Structure formats: structure tokens, C-alpha cells
Structure 1
Amino acid sequence: MGGLTGDPAFAATTFVVIDFEATTPTGFPAQPIEVAALALRYETGTWTTAGRPFSSLIRPPAFAPVTPADTAQTGLTAEQVGQAPSPAEALGALDRRFAAGKPYLLVAQHAATEANLIHNQREHCPALARIDLLDTIPLARYLFPGLPNYRLDTLLAHFSIKHPADRHRAYADVEVTAEVFMRLVGAADENAELSDLAALVKIAGRTAKCNMPAQGELFDVHPTSERGHG
């Protein structure tokens, strides 16, 4: 056990590896068509799964149809997602997995993508939208400088993790991202500068948009105060 995994805050946290597949309609934000999540805990020196894995297709709105390019990348067709649960149904079911008052962190490869998708769907998943994230890319860059790039396929090759047959499907990507994350934590455990969860968050953390102060609040001027200095 190293400093990081020996930290009580690390041990208390449930790490939820999450991935979305999405369409990218012109003039609109990306719209999810699939989501998967896998919850991990580090207990008594080993990783364990917390609860059942989650996976669901999501029916996109009419303005964001699945395109031939989407099908070529993911294998998902317009017919498949056309019969899928709505965003409210799919993301609501995922949202109910999160227990109030328990510490969670989302884990994602290029977490900005997941952060934006979640924020744009926050009315359907208010609990999920308030969970901060860890990004495997800056963590890998910090721990393993000098790789040609930090794409998921590159990290899979670096760690000799088998490339899944259905790469670019949400649950397949969640499984291998979880493998990468566990390898990164193993490396971080041997790094004296990453001695606790706070240090890990400093390197690879991303604040959920719902947890950021609104721009207006940063510059609010109280009218009474303004008059008092007139």
C-alpha cells in the first residue's frame, strides 16, 4: 500500500468510470446516444466493483440523428437508438445510482467531453451533474511523460491492455478506461508527490460545471454598498 491508496479520503471515495457516445449535430451541442458507468472502490489493498455496471442506449432528439459516420465509429444505427430510452429515462436511471452524502469522483478519458455532456443534460441527472471528475490524460502525462500521445489506444498499448473488439462502444471503453485508471493509480502509489487524494485531484481533477461559481456572482455589487460610497 502506497501513500495514495493509504489515504483515508481515497479509500472513502467511490470512483465511477464513465463514458458517453454521442452525435455532434451542426449548430448544437453533442447529444448522447449511449452511456456506461462502472463504480470502483479500493479496499484492503485491492480494487472491487461497487454495485452492478450500468449501460444504456439513449434516444437522441430529432435534430441530432445518428449519421453514417457515427455508425462507422460506434456500430450503432439510427434504428437501434430510435427504440432506446429517452435521455430523461436513461440518465435518470443512472442518476438514481448515486447515494446522497457519499463521496464520488467520475473518471473519464478526456473528461471535458463527459463534463460537457453531463452539464448539458443536468436536468435529467442533477446528482451526477454535481460530481467532480478525474481525467486520465493529465494523470498519464504526469506519470508517464514522453509517450507519443495520450489517446486511449496509446495507453492501452503502453499498459499491454487488450484492445476490445467493440472499441467506441460506451461499456467497452469504460472497461478499458477502468483498467488504465487502476494502472495509473498503481504508478501514482509509488510517486512521493502523489501522496493523497488531494494531490491526485490537483494533477488530474476537473470541477463539474454545476460546482463552479456563476460568472455573475463573481462580480455582483450590492446596491446598498454602492449607494453607501456614492
Structure 2
Amino acid sequence: MGGLTEDPAFLATTFVVIDFEATTPKGYPAQPIEVAALALRYEEGAWTAACRPFASLIRPPAFAPVTPAVTAQTGLTVEQVNQAPSPAQALGALDRRFAAGKQYLLVAQHAATEANIIYNQREHCPALARIDLLDTIPLAKYVVPGLPSYQLDMLLAHFCIKQPADRHRAYADVDVTAQVFVRLVSAADEGGQLSDLAALVKIAGRTAKCNMPAQGGLFDI
């Protein structure tokens, strides 16, 4: 492999692939109904799972019920999510996976979606909300230019990754997004397109909203 996977900063980072399924109630931000995460590290020339995968359903608030359209896409039903842990319980359990003093980056397909959900739920997951993100879409556009689109299904087809039977469930999407991310890193590394973690972040990075400087009022003194 090339310089990227030999970079000390890259080797010191745990990459946490994350995905949410959500309802989108009118007049409110998206409300999570499922979350999954898979932590990966690159060690001794290979990718390894840093810990057990995490997945949990999440009970949405009353103003954001599971609709027939959500059920049609995800397979999740009103009955399933109504018996699920609360956002505080589910996201709190995920948040406790992140150890103080370690270096993490979240990885997501169209990371703005995950970034917004995490920010809006930040009271339940303060550690998670402070982790910056990598977006597989700009990374894919840089590494494999010229595809008709950069939706996840197109990237799966390009890399000959099998479509999961439960596509649009959080863990299934995390699993295939992780495979896409690994293929993209491998291609960029072998082609010498990215020299180190800083170059990867420059192409695909997205700052967590909690890490953005606060905007003062126009007439603040």
C-alpha cells in the first residue's frame, strides 16, 4: 500500500462507519428510529474491527411516528419502534463506546444527514457529537470520477459489492458503506492519490457542527 496507510495519524485513527434510519415529520428535523455503527482500524496491513458492531432501534417522539412510507423503505413498523429504547438510552449506549483521548472519525454516505441527526440529538451523545466526519460521496468522486451517480447503490455496483437483502436498515447500510470506504481508501492508496490523513480529510472531511465556531450576533461587542 502507499503513503496514506503508512501515515501515523491514519494508523492512530479509529474510523467509525455510522448510519441512521429516521422519520421526517413536517415542521421538525429528522428523528432517528435506528442507528448502527462499525468501528474499523487499519493495523499491520489489514482492516480490523476495533470492537463489536453496535445497532439499536430508537423510539421516536409522538410527533414523528413511523409512516407507511418509512415502513415500505426500511421494513420497520410502528410496533417495533414503539417498544424500542428512547433516544437517550440508545444514543447514550453508543456514546459510551467512545474512549476519551482516542482519535476517531465518523464515516457516512452523505454525511450531512448523519451530522444533522447527531447534532440535534447531541444532549444524548455529547462525545459522538464532537467527532468530525468523512463523507464517502466526495471521496468517491475524487477516487473514481465519472460515475453516473454517487448514490450508495451505484457505488456498490461499481465495486461489485452484493446488495444486502435488508438494504435501508441501519446495520446493513453500515456494513456495505464500510466495504465501499475500504475499497475507496485502497484505490486512493494504491494510486497515490492521497498521501496522508490530512489529504483524506481535505477531500472528504466534514466538521461536526459542535466543533464549528459559534457565530456571534451582528452587533455583538
Q: Same fold (TM over 0.5)?
A: yes
Q: Which residues of 2 match residues 28-177 of structure 1 at below 5 A?
A: 28-177=28-177
Distance across 2 between alignment mates of 1:117 and 1:47:
28
Q: Deviations over 1:69-116 (max 9, x none)?
A: 000000000000000000000000000000001000000000000000
Identical-residue share of aligned pairs (%): 85
One-letter amino acid of the counterpart of residue 180, structure 1: V
Q: Give the C-alpha shift of residue 217 in structure 1.
A: 7.8
One-letter amino acid of the counterpart of residue 214, structure 1: A
Distance across 1 between alignment mates of 2:62 and 2:149:
36
One-letter amino acid of the counterpart of residue 69, structure 1: A
* Distance change (3 Å), C-alpha of 1:112 and 1:219: farther
Does structure 1 residue 21 correspond to structure 2 residue 39?
Answer: no
Unpaired stretches in structure 1, ≥5 consecutive residues: 222-230
Question: Aligned to 2:190, what secondary structure does the other structure show?
Answer: coil
Question: Aligned to 1:117, what secondary structure does the other structure show?
Answer: helix
Q: State the partner residue of 1:195.
A: 195
Q: Give the C-alpha shift of residue 191 in structure 1.
A: 3.4
Q: Deviations over 1:132-152 (max 9, x none)?
A: 000000000011111000000
CA RMSD of aligned residues (A): 1.1
Question: Aligned to 1:65, what secondary structure does the other structure show?
Answer: coil
Distance across 2 between alignment mates of 1:4 and 1:21:
32
Q: State the partner residue of 1:204.
A: 204
Structure 1 stretches of at least 4 aligned residues deviating more than 4 Å after TM superposition: 217-220
Q: TM-score, normalised by structure 2?
A: 0.98
Unpaired stretches in structure 2, ≥5 consecutive residues: none
Distance across 2 between alignment mates of 1:220 and 1:203:
34
Q: State the partner residue of 2:182.
A: 182
Length, aligned pairs only: 221
Q: TM-score, normalised by structure 1?
A: 0.94
